[in-house]
Chains A and B, each alone.
Chain A
Amino acid sequence: DTGVSQDPRHKITKRGQNVTFRCDPISEHNRLYWYRQTLGQGPEFLTYFQNEAQLEKSRLLSDRFSAERPKGSFSTLEIQRTEQGDSAMYLCASSPSGNTEAFFGQGTRLTVV
């Protein structure tokens, strides 16, 4: 399967714990996006990488959130000191160039209890 893959698919964590999600984009895609989606809403933009550079970051991304893409390939999204409001689906997408569509992974569903 050469699509976007995300790991884990599901994560249940206690409030206050740190969690880290991984995204492996389609191999030739240099653009990588993270989104958060809650029930009944469209995906909300969190951040965007072009190769290893993080070019844009949403105001939704508080200082508890950090994303990296160290070698311009896979990316990680870390949430520190999780809160119940962080419960959502976290989606990763990649695209080959600036003006084309993005391809999504299956997402990581986070539940904070």
Chain B
Amino acid sequence: RKEVEQDPGPFNVPEGATVAFNCTYSNSASQSFFWYRQDCRKEPKLLMSVYSSGNEDGRFTAQLNRASQYISLLIRDSKLSDSATYLCVVNRYSSASKIIFGSGTRLSIRP
């Protein structure tokens, strides 16, 4: 079983729709959590950090449930430019830092 699991999609939704992605992680020692966005043939870029209290950045909302080891990302009023792969990322930091990526969820927004 992979340490970070995501639904690979693809999600194909109309512009303006709300879409949600889920991610689970298996190592309870994981300490910090992120969503990254990756465009085709580009490097991953940080979309947002995920905090225990939940956090929002414009149309994007991230939630963390430590008890269930579950992370989510909600995108409201989706735009064509949101089409990308969204990567769930977990940082297991103790004596060494290990940043683990999920396989990514592909999102395609259609006009």
Q: Which of B88-111 contact A (CB under 8 A)?
A: 89, 91, 93, 95-104
Contact between chains at B87 and A106 (CB < 8 Å): no
Ranked nearest first, the 3 interchain pairs of A and B with the lowest CB-CB distance are A42-B101, A55-B96, A104-B43
What is the total number of residues of chain B having a CB less than 8 Å from a CB of chain A? 26
What per-residue 1/0 map shows which CB atoms of B35-53 lie under 8 Å from chain A?
0000000111110010000
Among B44, B91, B104, the residue within 8 A (CB) of A104 is B44
Residues of B within 8 A of A (CB): 4, 6, 8, 31-32, 34, 42-46, 49, 87, 89, 91, 93, 95-104
Which of B45, B49, B93, B100 interacts with A45 by CB under 8 Å?
A: B100
Tell me the interface secondary structure of chain B in the complex. Answer: strand
Q: Which residues of A contact B (CB under 8 A)?
A: 31, 33, 35, 40-45, 48, 50, 55-56, 91, 93, 95, 98-107
